[in-house]
Structure 1
Amino acid sequence: MEKLRLFFGENGFNPDQQTTIAQSFSRQELTRGSFYLREGQISQQLGFVEHGLFHYFCARDGEEITTYTTGSNGFLVSLSSFLKQRPARESIRALTDGIIWVIQKPSFDQLRREIVSFERFYVGMLEEQINCIDQSRFNLLTLTAEERYQRLMTEEPQLLQDVPLHHLASILGVTPRHLSRIRGQIR
């Protein structure tokens, strides 16, 4: 729980607020391959990743299409499902063993009502997600696969070490074979 408290401390919460917020979360361990959320379920919780790597994906025509990955100090949530309480369009699965801290939606909503700075934190988190989604969409539409890979090398080099090749290829919108060719040309 200390990493969770530290995260909220680094994001401007005073010690009392850190304690109140952290006590609203419960610890979960997920093993590699286990699901945090399955497509079609309604997301009832938001998770903070203490340790581990997770990927978001949807299954189409028998293939998994990875749309996003998150690791330590990131959040796990099917955002539209959590916010609107409708079935998730993607699944979230552990790529490694992980430790997460989860908060149920009613507790999350209560923190938003009771701690003004938590509401501001939440709005900032949403704005950051919107910017990430917008940037990703823009990159897919305007950059070549090679340019997207080079951007990944510059902006998120740890993913190249941590995420399996077939998931990276899916995130970049190419086949694993095409990604191997790109990597060979850029090295």
Structure 2
Amino acid sequence: MTGGVAVRGAVFWLSRNVVLGVRVDTLEATSETFPWKWNSRLCFCLGNPVENRRLAVLPDGRLCAVQVGRRRGGSGSPVINVLCRSHGKAPAKWAWEKQLDVELQRLLPLDNVNRVCLRGVMEKSGVVFLATGADMYAQQPDLALYALHLQKKEVRLVPAPPGRCCARRSSWSFFGYEMDRGAYLTSLSPDTNA
């Protein structure tokens, strides 16, 4: 099960093809079927599609799932897909947001890459963190960690100390955290209450 995502007074979790929800005010629990696949073959990260799918919230407030998939036909190159949940009347429906697709072949150096694993989705900034690897089942170290901005369709290499980012399974423990600039600058100041 992936980490919880809060939206519109409820918290949601994704577990394989089921989305679990709990309303914070009433503690009413819900479950709904999540489409196992959509218009692309899943990109199995270590043989497990759940590793390559995360719930998030779009800037317009919709619950969505971000996934690393492979484009049908052609070369089957890796692509980021976004599936959004309708809000309002039940039952909720999930729809593929084609305009948010990002073809990674155009942005990342994918020579000798056989694995693209989703590591985190930052909801406020729309940044997705991806690790690449030369082997399908992570028997070799990650090649690199990237930050992809979904709206701008821009990617940056995440710098890491030598031997840290590319150590075997090192990016598995990556957990993204967002804070605004004011909170960040405050966190850097010395504690004046001590």
After TM superposition, the score normalised by the length of structure 1 is 0.24
Q: More relative contact order in 1 or in 2 (CA 8 Å, sep 6+)? A: 1
Q: TM-score, normalised by structure 2?
A: 0.23
Q: Which has the higher strand share?
A: 2
**Larger helix fraction of residues:** 1
